[in-house]
Amino acid sequence: MSKSRVHVTPHKGGGWQVKVGGNQKASNITSTQKDAIGIGKDKAIDMKTELVIHGRDGKIRDAESYGKDPCPPKDTKH
């Protein structure tokens, strides 16, 4: 069974939402993307899964894995 990812996406009512993949409703709604990313990162770390950050256009702009990656990337962006 694969683990659900945590997504940070624009919220239709304004602001940003944090949503765990597979859930219909957002677990958190914030006014800024920065706040949503912080909450999403904490959730992804707790769940040992991936955080996927979307831009205003809904397209994926970044992703970070917080699980046990057998082949971790060599980049040091975060």
- Can you give the pLDDT of all 78 residues of the chain as single tens digits? 346 899 999 999 899 999 999 899 999 999 999 999 999 999 999 999 999 999 999 999 999 998 876 666 666 665
Distance CA 41, CA 61 (A): 15
Q: In this predicted structure, what is the pLDDT of residue 72?
A: 63
pTM exceeding 0.75: yes
Q: Buried b / exposed e across 41-53, counting CB within 10 Å, b at 16+?
A: bebbeebebbbbb
Grouping H, G, I as helix, E, B as strand and the rest as coil, residue 30 is strand
